[in-house]
Structure 1
């Protein structure tokens, strides 16, 4: 049965699919390929740190209880001595990378690219590179193993980094966060489907099917941020669903056509429904300056182990601590801490926490992260150990903190990252205040060398130096790699729990 030739019709979906199917490594500026390798390294660091956190082990135990582990289970579970099936690997490895709020985020259309792209791409590559068992169904085309090079991985990764944010910009970027959607879980299936489609060399028509199948699986409730552990898993859902979309499309399964511009039941139409904006959504953003303006430049790396919207709070408090070291340490004299932020940041992290708080909620809450910084002068995984979450000194400061939306901070550009923190005192002495346009990691972004420093710092407690050096060399020399299945081997093996 022949498929309808919808791709011949003009529109953002068709244009995007043609670009995905035709873009080559030589079309991408060399400095962005270099940046991509450092971003990948940061994603691997987050995976190894996250692999044996308590909530990661809980998720793994539940899914491995269902998991097929016989012949053909070829995908590596990062940081474990276990091979699993590709869809389970994509889900759990994405969960590990998102496991501790250390991972990347996009400046203009919030999503965490590494937790979506690396699990899907490496699972697909390992699966395709493994010989099928003798009695294996031949329908998936694995009559012979197919190996992918580091250059193949790099190209597919950059494609994913472009598609996810573009789809998000069509939904007005961070606006969906204000309405309670987990933005990365909404934008992410498109990114994973596009990346895997590129890795597998799908035609433009098949890419359209993959995106259509991925988009109908998109979703994620931001209420997951308060007490649940499933917030850690929602980007893993996106990785798995994008991989599933590309796999079905590779097999000829027909997906939704014109998925981004459909008026009835289309992706942009439905996820922008009720936002009260004019226009409601922006389909032109999906392909605007495609191949000219690179969205990977907006992928930022976190210096702190907390939700990105809390970072400006930390930097404001760090500046106040440096300027007023004695006054900001006299906690009993602090009357109030006022944090002003943009609309999206306020809805995401400006809520009032209740004691006790889980690690997930603590990392998502500006009041808690700010109080933790004042007490410990750092925001690392150690601050969110179970025994650290109920400290009286921290909660004294949390209770003194209020967050509010400052409407002068715009919803676009640097305005959405700007914050002001004001501390007032019980003894009547003058209040102190500091404003930042954007946190460290945004203005300026972390350099490649700073990312390398972070990689070495956060992995030193979870893997041996020899393995760390081997992974580092493999990623930074990725274009010299002829078979990326070596990455699976390097990522295998039990890591340590960094907050044990």
Structure 2
């Protein structure tokens, strides 16, 4: 009897992963993976402005342990698993990380932190790191797409209230980390089997508040790194971890999944280059409403002109950006504003920074600004049949504004900026990175990081890149009991 692990879905994933790590990946896939590393590093730096970021950094530093890997923006090194946790939290906390459609996953915020932590721990070179990132992203996306129901037009994970980002992100993180720890096909399969018992996440906080969602990608990255390490020490997982009677897809999707999404074209057709970058630091469902607001502003509409605004959106997204409507019209914090359709269109109408709107446009003060509150009170969020027909391949919006003089102005935004149909240029991605690190990383170091990451394949190690994003060491205070010695001629040369 043949070994069942030779024919399982997990075994096919493991074979693909090891083959890509050993023999390379297409140039466009590698280029996309490098861009996503740069994007995540910028997000991690920018997220240090948040109280929850300070909390996770303090928590991780308090755990102690061997100095194996770097928390982005922190000088002290921590264990690889703890670095993955902290960086995953940082990467996802601003809701500025990339999105795959139609799975509605944010894969880079877990996979990149896991890969960087494992790469630092093992001293892996940049070429293997890029391959591991790309493979981890591909696995996360394919597992997410296995749970996409075309007839329903939505992810079954999402319908169940599950955060597919952290669930499949943990699995992708495990594959990426395993490759960097030198695993063979059995090791990658075992890591998937172990991680499946660690992957989780629910999305109720999207609706009614709470910051727990910021933890999700960190916990996913930590799970992937930990699983890879445990497998190195002898732990194993079931070969039928994905499709088994009590496996991953049964547990999460009650057996309602598409196995062909995992294996069809695996290794030949890559999803990675098609993952959408985010131009705005808000829930991706709100982006076309932001675009519509910006377009209305460009047409000369001013706040005093507004009598009412109606956002036509896909029915499935309204529970995230439009319900409960009174809550969405009155966000209490910048974080809640990131999930508010009314805030999005109003912020666009008022204009902002970055690539149209930036991080400074989502603050607690602006969420409670009386002018914005007055405008948000006029906004309704309703289902739109045209948007339903397009979702979830895009997150469209049809915004109808009625002026105080009775004029009706309509802005239709049917495709998302940052995706394959409206891609961000290299200059725009560089602008996003510079904005994210401004005030925390010097211009020279920021430019050096950007250069090195976009040439990551050629670097012997990743450590130096991450160190450039850390704050400078504070000079040690001179001891008053010991006068400073005069330098010798050699020391002062």
Give the TM-score band, short-chain normalised: 0.7 to 0.9
Q: 1:366 aligns with which of 329, 338, 341?
A: 341
Q: Any conservation in 2 of the 1:21–1:201 contact (CA below 8 Å)? A: no
Displacement, 1:162? 0.6
Q: How many Å separate the matches in 1 of 2:364 and 2:391?
A: 36
**1:55 equivalent in structure 2:** 52
Query: Structure 2 vs 1, CA of residues 414 and 237 (structure 1 numbering), >3 Å: closer, same or farther?
Result: closer
1:36-435 matched pairs, under 5 angstroms: 36-65=33-62, 67-69=63-65, 72-128=66-122, 147-172=123-148, 174-175=154-155, 176-225=157-206, 226-263=208-245, 265-273=246-254, 280-323=256-299, 325=300, 328-331=301-304, 333-351=305-323, 352-354=325-327, 355-377=330-352, 378-410=356-388, 416-427=394-405, 429-435=406-412
Of 77-86 and 104-113, more deviation after overlay is shown by 104-113
Q: How many Å separate the matches in 1 of 2:371 and 2:187?
A: 57
Unaligned 5+ segments in structure 2 are 474-493
Query: Structure 2 vs 1, CA of residues 256 and 405 (structure 1 numbering), >3 Å: closer, same or farther?
Result: farther
**Secondary structure of residue in 1 paired with 2:37:** helix
Q: Any conservation in 2 of the 1:122–1:488 contact (CA below 8 Å)? A: no
Q: 1:31 aligns with which of 12, 28, 31?
A: 28
Q: How many Å separate the matches in 1 of 2:73 and 2:177?
A: 22
**Secondary structure of residue in 2 paired with 1:23:** helix
Q: Deviations 1:332-365 (Å, cap 9, x if unpaired)?
A: x533211112233223323225235222211122
Q: Any conservation in 2 of the 1:79–1:494 contact (CA below 8 Å)? A: no
**Secondary structure of residue in 1 paired with 2:124:** coil
Query: Structure 2 vs 1, CA of residues 398 and 122 (structure 1 numbering), >3 Å: closer, same or farther?
Result: same
Query: Structure 2 vs 1, CA of residues 271 and 344 (structure 1 numbering), >3 Å: closer, same or farther?
Result: farther
Q: How many Å separate the matches in 2 of 1:73 and 1:444?
A: 42
Displacement, 1:488? 3.4
Q: Deviations 1:384-443 (Å, cap 9, x if unpaired)?
A: 22322211111112221111223443476665422211112344x132112121121123
Q: Any conservation in 1 of the 2:303–2:375 contact (CA below 8 Å)? A: no
Q: How many Å separate the matches in 2 of 1:45 and 1:457?
A: 8
Q: Any conservation in 2 of the 1:417–1:438 contact (CA below 8 Å)? A: yes
**2:488 equivalent in structure 1:** none
**1:131 equivalent in structure 2:** none
Q: How many Å separate the matches in 2 of 1:308 and 1:458?
A: 18
Q: How many Å separate the matches in 2 of 1:304 and 1:411?
A: 24
Displacement, 1:319? 2.1
Unaligned 5+ segments in structure 1 are 129-146, 274-278, 496-500
Residues matched between the structures, number:
459
Q: Any conservation in 2 of the 1:415–1:437 contact (CA below 8 Å)? A: no
**Secondary structure of residue in 2 paired with 1:305:** coil
Displacement, 1:239? 0.5
Q: How many Å separate the matches in 2 of 1:304 and 1:35?
A: 19
Displacement, 1:305? 1.2
Query: Structure 2 vs 1, CA of residues 178 and 358 (structure 1 numbering), >3 Å: closer, same or farther?
Result: farther
Q: How many Å separate the matches in 2 of 1:285 and 1:23?
A: 18
Q: What TM-score do the two structures reach when normalised by structure 2?
A: 0.87
Displacement, 1:26? 4.9
Q: How many Å separate the matches in 2 of 1:356 and 1:297?
A: 34
Q: Deviations 1:240-268 (Å, cap 9, x if unpaired)?
A: 111111111222201133122113x3212
Q: 1:476 aligns with which of 436, 454, 460?
A: 454
Q: Any conservation in 1 of the 2:124–2:461 contact (CA below 8 Å)? A: yes
Query: Structure 2 vs 1, CA of residues 42 and 426 (structure 1 numbering), >3 Å: closer, same or farther?
Result: same
Q: How many Å separate the matches in 1 of 2:53 and 2:303?
A: 38
RMSD: 2.3
Displacement, 1:236? 0.7
Q: Any conservation in 2 of the 1:192–1:243 contact (CA below 8 Å)? A: yes
Query: Structure 2 vs 1, CA of residues 78 and 27 (structure 1 numbering), >3 Å: closer, same or farther?
Result: closer
Q: How many Å separate the matches in 1 of 2:374 and 2:236?
A: 57
